[in-house]
Amino acid sequence: MCGRYTARFTETTLLPGELADVVSAFPPRYNIAPQQTAPVIRMKEGVPVFEALRWGFRPSWMKDPNQAQINARAETLFAKPMFGQAARNRRCLVLASGWYEWQHKTTGKQPFFFHFRDDRLFAMAGIWTPWHTEGAESQDRDSYAIITAAANPFAAPIHRRMPVILGAEACAVWLDASDADSVRLASLLAPHAYDDLDAYPVSTYVNSPQHDGRKCLEPLTH
């Protein structure tokens, strides 16, 4: 799964050129947690827009916010009633510069930080859904989930799942709202090759969603 990630907007090489100036102005995040808002790119009226949505896929019919799904499995994405329509019509790019996974050990869970060796910004495949409440305090709050796939050989010793990372060409296809070909779209959701990834253990300081600073990324020294 992908349960925490970072987003430091210093590199935009994998993103559409017209979005580069927008994302560079967003403040860095070092520990994005479920139910928090974070930036995504999605299409609106044929134009890619950059905006913050709530992490935790919560359709309008879902009354209990605790049931919101932070991840959706690539293998069943288009077949699941909860995710199928969004996968065909409401796709987004979730911007990140790394993600955390926890390895089970006899002494407890050890967090690891995964990132590209050059620390570049990248895009994870996502889907989003609208959510609306009625009444005196009615509000609209769109939410998203990150697509995950089976871990590649590099990540597998730490965790059996990993987020789907999209290359530049795949980003354009995934964002294209006019393309609803589930077979072609599903073919994009493969685990990323691992020759340019790195990972290292970090302190359990990152376990708290209240912590959001560079200390979350510091390598564990003991």
Catalytic residue ranges: 2, 101
In our burial notation (b when 16+ CB lie closer than 10 A, e otherwise), range 63-83 reads: eeeeebbbbbbbeebbeeebb
For residues 96 and 5, the answer to whether their CB atoms sit within 8 Å is yes
Task: Find residue 200's DSSP bridge partners.
Answer: 113
Secondary structure (H, E, C), 12-52: CCCCCHHHHHHHCCCCCEEEECCCCEEEEEEEECCEEEEEE
In contact, 66 and 57? CB cutoff 8 Å = no
Contact predicate 115/198, CB 8 Å: yes
